Amino acid sequence: MRKFIWSLFEFVETVVIAVVAVLLIRAYVAQPFLVSGSSMEPNFNNGNYLLIDELTYRFRPPERGEVIVFRYPNNPQTFYIKRVIGLPDETVVIDNGKISVAEANGQKINLAETYLSREYTIGDYEVELAPDQYFVMGDNRNFSYDSRSWGPLPSSMIIGMVRLRLWPVNEVMAFSAPQY
C-alpha cells in the first residue's frame, strides 16, 4: 500500500510540475496564435497557427519589418497581427502606396517591401510617432484594418513577435524581419 501511495504522489508531483512549466512558458515565453482574417495575406492566411515569441521584446524593442501580435488599442480583448512599419519618434509618410520613413536622426528610408506580392494603391497618409508608439500595417494593404484606420500602436499593447508557422504542415517555417 505504501508503494502505491508513493507512486501516486510521484505521479501527481510530475503532473503539477508539468502544468506549472506550461503555464509559465505560455505566460512569459511563447504562446500560440490563430490567424483570423485576410489582412496579412499572402504571407499569413486565415487559419494559420503561429507561435508567438513573448520573450524577445523584454530585452529589445520591436524592429521595422517584424510581424507582431498585439492587443487592439480600442478593445484590448481582441488580438491583431500586423507588420511594424514605423518606430518610435519617426514620421511615416504614405504617398500613393509608397511608404517612406523619416527616422529620428533625420535620415529618410524608402521601404522596398519585397514581402508584398503586388503593389497596392492606398491613399496618402502621414503620422509622427511619439516615443512609445509604433505604426503597423497588414500585408494585404487594401483590406487591412491597421494604424491608418485607428492610429499609432502604443508599445504597451504589444504581446510578441511571430517566430514560427506551425500549421498548415506544408507551410511550416520560421520568420525574421526583412532587411530594408
Domain membership of residue 20 (yes or no) is yes
This prediction's pTM: 0.76
Q: Give the strand pairing for 133-137 and 153-154.
A: antiparallel
142 part of a folded domain: yes
Residue 4, pLDDT above cutoff 80: no
- Condensed to tens digits (0 to 9), the pLDDT of residues 29-83 reads 557 777 777 788 788 888 888 888 888 888 899 999 899 999 998 898 888 999 9
- Burial of 90 by CB count in 10 Å (0-12 exposed, 13-18 middle, 19+ buried)? buried
Residue-range definition of the domain harbouring residue 12: 2-174
Burial (0-12, 13-18, 19+ Cβ within 10 Å), 57: middle
Q: Residue with C-alpha cell 489582412? A: 39
- Percent of the chain topping pLDDT 70: 82
Supply φ then ψ for residue 167, to 5 degrees.
-145, 140
Confidence of residue 172 (pLDDT cuts 50, 70, 90): low
| CATH number, position 130 | 2.10.109.10
Taking Cα atoms as reference points, which of 89, 88, 86 lies closest to residue 109? Answer: 86
- The residues that are catalytic are 39, 82
Query: Per the domain annotation, does 78 fall within a domain?
Result: yes
pLDDT at 180: 61
Quick check: helix, strand or coil at residue 86? strand
Q: What share of the chain is helix, strand, coil (3-state, %, to 5)?
A: 25, 35, 40
Total number of domains constituting the chain: 1
Task: List, in sequence order, every beta strand (DSSP E) within 18-119.
Answer: 30-34, 49-53, 67-72, 75-86, 91-95, 98-102, 108-110
Q: What is the residue type of 69? A: V
**Angstrom distances, CA of residue 27 to CA of 24, 103, 148, 165:** 5, 33, 30, 19
- What pLDDT is stored for residue 163 in this prediction? 81
**CA-based Rg of the chain, rounded to a whole angstrom?**
20
| 180 inside domain | no
In this predicted structure, the answer to whether residue 179 has a pLDDT above a threshold of 80 is: no
> Is 43 part of a structural domain of the chain?
yes
Q: What is the mean pLDDT of the chain?
A: 80
In-domain check, residue 179: no
Residue 62 lies in a domain: yes
